[in-house]
Chain A
Amino acid sequence: MYCRACGVKIGCRAERCPLCKGELSYTPVPTDRYIPPAHLTEEVAFKKGTIKKRRTDVIAQAYFVFFVVTTCMLILINIYTNPKQLWSMIYMVVAGYIYYCIRYTVIAQSNFHARIFGQAIVNTVVILLLWRLYSGPGQNNWILITWLPITYFLSELLIGIYALLNFKEARKKMISLLILCIFGVIPVVTAYVADVSVKWPAIAASAFSGVVIVVTLIVGRNHLVDELKRFFHV
């Protein structure tokens, strides 16, 4: 097939000229000779691409807009009605956390252990924020008693199991696991600082972190220096 307007030969199956969108001819110049329709034999060069509209992105973006708008509205209502008690902040923290979950855990491309690690850190921040907003020290703080220890216990357990299941590649998870376990002192420290009524879950979770550190160091002792080297190389 040829486009006489552009003066080029079209090398793939086409209904019109890709350059000028004009009609195609069977020959480069007008002729009376019969030419069989070439478009039936010419190759399809590329698959007809199915363009995805990136739905996951759209959901995350739509949620983000929803989050910003509702937060602003609630803060305004809050300030006009009862500025002493900032209940809208609780909404902001929780709704913001949900955004983090959608964007950085559900549709993220990072490794499983990196996503769990991120969740643990963000959970800690959310818990501490909620605790400051929701209740003062000395009270019966259920989020500190349950949520914080469970976060560390579960995330360390999940990364640990994941590392064992992919034992050949376990060294790649070692640094995240160790850092997470070092942060594992947070439950017990906050339990004592906030002086919560039930302390054993925090103590148990922090003790578990300690055990995981010891086990990781024993199992991965030959790889630790190497791992640290590549993590901190400049």
Chain B
Amino acid sequence: MINGNTALNIDNIRLNSHEDLDALRQKIIDSHDPDQPEVLVCHGTGCIANGSKEVMAAFEKICADSDIDVKVMPGIKATGCQGLCSKGPLLRINPQGLFYQQVKPGDVEEIVQKTIIGNEPVERLLYKDPKTGEAIHTEEEIPFYNLQERIILKNIGKIDPTDIHDKISVGGYQALAKALNTMTPEEVVTEITNSGLRGRGGAGFPTGRKWQGALKAVEKKGGPVYVVVNGDEGDPGAFMDCAIMEGDPHAVLEGLILGAYALGANKGYLYIRAEYPLAVKHLEMAMEQARAHGLLGDNILNSGFSFDAQINRGAGAFVCGESTALFTSIEGKAGTPRPKYVRSVEEGLWGNPTVLNNVETWANVPLIIEKGADWYSKIGVPKSTGTKVFCLVGKVNNVGLVEVPMGSPITKIVDEIGGGIPSGKPFKAVQTGGPSGGCIPNRLKDTPMDFDSLTQAGAMMGSGAMIVMDEHDCVVDVGRYFLRFLEEESCGKCIPCRLGLTKMREILDNFSSGKGSEKDIEDLTSLAKAIQDGALCALGTSAPNPCLTTIKFFKEEYLAHVNDQKCPAGVCKDLITYSIDPDACTGCRSCARQCPQDCISGKKKEVHVIDEQKCIRCGICMDTCKFNAVLVS
């Protein structure tokens, strides 16, 4: 907390019991005047990119310079991602709970005068209902939020992730205190098993079963057991683990400590992607503050249980998120997958039993322990319980972080919460699960987003990226995009992946230049099957999924490329031509001025024409024309 009520001096006190924790919590709550204004500035990745740091600086400066009454001097907090990233920078103002969007530093003076001092909203910064245009005041009234069920994201965007007291005041470490006081380690494992929780890292392995497997291995061979957080999130389009680590680091840490207690681990690792410095920083601060409070380290809450953890920064490769590659990377070797016919719960780090779970999986653990398996398993659908956080990106109106019960239909997420696609037409397809997932067409928009339904559709839950596509996205191009990504990320150890992905991509390259045949589609499918069957790790075995699903669901679009040399979406450059519609062209000359080839001619106020021979199909003219006169075919 920057300004406001910081009189409370309770730093660095060790808590020795659940009562101590409750007393501290009460003290923090009491010290906070509920009427004191509070400004929450989103500091998620999206909002920082849109300038939220400058907005924060403006608040600090203006509040410091002005002579606001101390009673209304706002506390200013930087929070994690508040969710609706496409409308950032976002701001929440308490106690009214006002939701401001697209705030610029220049708006701050007015916000301070009008809202903080005058207790009145700044109309133009409020969210507008896209249909009625009516201004909406609070988050709770916005469909993007009120159609979600936010249990993992509940505190993200509302607390200061760098302040453990903020977390404690909303119930942080209650689950840990409860478990240490009233539950045996076996009871914790049982609770997780009964909750039905499945791993959020992609494959959906039942978490309780994984933990039991590790316990059996310890029983068999003894020795230490490790708990590990997989924070290597590298899917294009995915940022939920980043948002959780940055916005609520204590949730991950508390989950990890609970897991360690359940499994009897004294040492844990947090493997975090190198490109996430803020997540590393917040988790480091969280661990330091937790240690100072006796919530991490020796003799946690005076229970006799000791556990500590350390952060390992990822090696910057997508494949290091794969469990065996992640372990070799933590062990200090090159992160290369190894064959695992012995499960890593038995032989993980340094050959010892190891439980690796995803960031979001760990963040679910405290909730389950606090509220019980019964409560948890009622959320979602029977075989996929709880909620899932999705990153909604691509051609969708509301880009951001969405949390819904497992099994929610795609259309609820994309059309209702996401507000549909910008053109107002139905979306064409949704890519779930990133490069290992699949492309689901609009006609299957009622598919429930749960592990088994997605696998059945040939896609995959993956980590939770949902990339929305419209009619200007070409499925051949989508297949090429993901294959190119994986070609770059392949570790190169096994032949199906190292050579096969390139070969698949080359066949698709041919399609996009009109050089394919129907036999090529057959070959592509058969080669894809060989890679699925033959590759050593899941990067390779799942790599053909995006391409295979597009062939399965959009065969006619492939045939158009192959038989008619046409790209229906107007994306594959070799197969399209640009022309100008004489009836729509006003002769404004914008396109001609922008064309890098100088190949658009025409006099002012007269119809323009494109010289097809010189045109390099960059599409700039189409983006430039305000009259929709440039056509692509």
A and B physically associate: no
Give the interface of A toward B (CB within 8 A): none
Chain B positions within 8 Å of A, measured between CB atoms, are none
